[in-house]
Chains A and B, each alone.
Chain A
Amino acid sequence: MLRNSVVVTGLGSVTSFGCGVEALWRGCLSGDDVTEPIPPGWSAYYTAASRKWAPLPPIDFQTHGFSRQDLLLMGMPSLLALSAAREAWLHATLPGDGKVEDAWRAGVFLGTGLGGAKAPFDNYRAHLLSGLKKRLEGALSMAPDDTLLAEHLSALQLHPRVHPLVICQTMPNAAAASLSIAFGIKGANETLSQACASGTVAIGRAYESIRRGELDIALAGGVEHLRDKAGGVFMGFDRLQTLARPMVGGEPENRPFDRRRSGFLFSEGGAGVLVLESATHARARGARVLAEIRGFGVNSDAHSMVALDEEGTAISRLYTEVLESAGLGCNDIDYINSHGTGTELNDSVESRLLERHFGQHPVVNSTKSILGHSIGASGALETIITVKSLEEQQVHTSCNLDDPIADLNFCLQSGPARIRHALTESFGFGGHNAVLILGRVLEDH
């Protein structure tokens, strides 16, 4: 480990397994099923082809140190990101008062795909229906015995309240700002939005900033929250035919890299936050190093808003550049945490490129085969899984992979693996490609 290297010293997450990285890691090793039928109310607005999702469990934020005031003011992305950041902070054994030593040399880098999309959906839905409600009320006053009309009206009992902070809750940068305020961080405060690659890009940008010597320490990761009252985000992805559809016989539909895949499992969201530091900073304060970030790269397909470039020219170039910047060859990569969504084209292109560049040596899995796709949070959660895999020398199973589409070394059963270097990658709507390479750090370093 070189003096100017960048290391990971803390991890925090909120996922369908609940709050905490340990719950996430154990859940992934067990391959536990987190899917549930979509909320019945969503079907009142739309008939979806996909029928399942991966919700978050109920979270009692007040037991996680949030005040009543926090809960009234903050949107879910801020609450989720702060929960994950507090865990990462404590995990990194940073000062208990929650403030950094040199606020100007600390940064926040947070990725999100849709920011606070839920806030306007929920706030303005009632207003869009209020005109209709007034007309029905007028009609009912003329015909008070019309029970069918009364029934229709009762279905529109939506109070047209607007939260005074709906704009702040909608801003994509609200979660990053919440972290900056909570931890007194005054250096960089950046929100990265590259759809499904957002979390990976955020961690990469933090890595670059520390490596250039601009910062000593950063909170970096991704957050997403996609549950709105009418299921508006879900229906958008469903309408685009990107979500996994029910299988005949009721078999699990979330099956990345399987021949019978039909789309990704929609996740309610979550948050993953890592503490990144310069090795010098970590060493000076006696922090335990979990992994080293060895390389990062990002580029763009310049091809389509929603589909990967089938040639994979940009991704191929990215592999070459990031490996070179890390001073590694393809054979040095022992584990690949794939993007692995379960969509027809994505898995086809990704598996072909992985096979071409890395062959059968690295063990490959898809964390989305368990958690589903949490868009802007996914890259951060998958980086956390990659750090845990390096640290514990174990790899979690890739679920529901009965008939693989490629001759890759897919992990079909969780277990031990010798991993020196690992690669994790994300590809986002709009053509964003991002790759991170991480390395194992032995205790005596």
Chain B
Amino acid sequence: MDKDSILATVRGLVAETLETDAGHVTAESRIREDLGADSMHVVTLIIALDEAFDAEFNLEEVPKDGVTVAWVADYVDRTLARAS
């Protein structure tokens, strides 16, 4: 899966998880600070990533602050590359 497709999927999953309009979610959006995600939302996002990309994503690897949608997409890309 190429990086643009991953980013598009991640944007959709973030919007779905936070129950917000996908138009509000950009690559630069910070999921906690800008989009209002709490710790349960982050757990939900991890589960959604697991399901969508059929890989194991680890909460331990997600920084506490400043996580943007683009960072999540890059994290997915790195995890998939590690698994293959």
Contacts and interface: CB of A to CB of B under 8 A. Distances in A.
- A and B pair up: yes
Interface of A: 67-69, 72-73, 159-165
B56 A160 contact: yes
A162 B55 CA distance: 10
Contact of B43 (A67, A160, A162, A164): A164
A69 B45 CA distance: 9
Contacts of A67: 19
Interface of B: 16-17, 19, 40-41, 43-44, 46-48, 50-51, 54-56, 59
Contacts of A164: 43, 46-47, 59
Contact of A162 (B40, B41, B56): B56
Contact of B17 (A69, A159, A163, A165): A69
Contact of B48 (A72, A159, A161): A72
B49 to A, nearest CB: 10
B46 A159 contact: no
Contacts of B50: 161, 163
A68 B56 contact: no
Contact of B51 (A69, A72, A73): A72
Given A72-B47, A161-B55, A164-B47, 18 more contacts: A68-B17, A68-B19, A69-B17, A69-B41, A69-B44, A73-B40, A73-B43, A73-B44, A73-B47, A159-B55, A160-B56, A161-B56, A162-B56, A163-B50, A164-B43, A164-B46, A164-B59, A165-B47
Q: Is the interface of B mostly helix, strand, loop or mixed?
A: helix
A317 B50 CA distance: 54
Contacts of A163: 47, 50
Contact of B54 (A68, A72, A159): A159
B79 to A, nearest CB: 12
Contacts of B55: 159, 161
A159 B55 CA distance: 7
Nearest to A168: B43
Contacts of A69: 16-17, 19, 41, 44
Given A162-B56, A164-B59, A68 B16 contact: yes
Contacts of A159: 54-56
Most chain A CB neighbours (cut-off 10 Å) among B19, B41, B44, B50: B44
Given A67-B19, A69-B17, A72-B48, A165 B56 contact: no
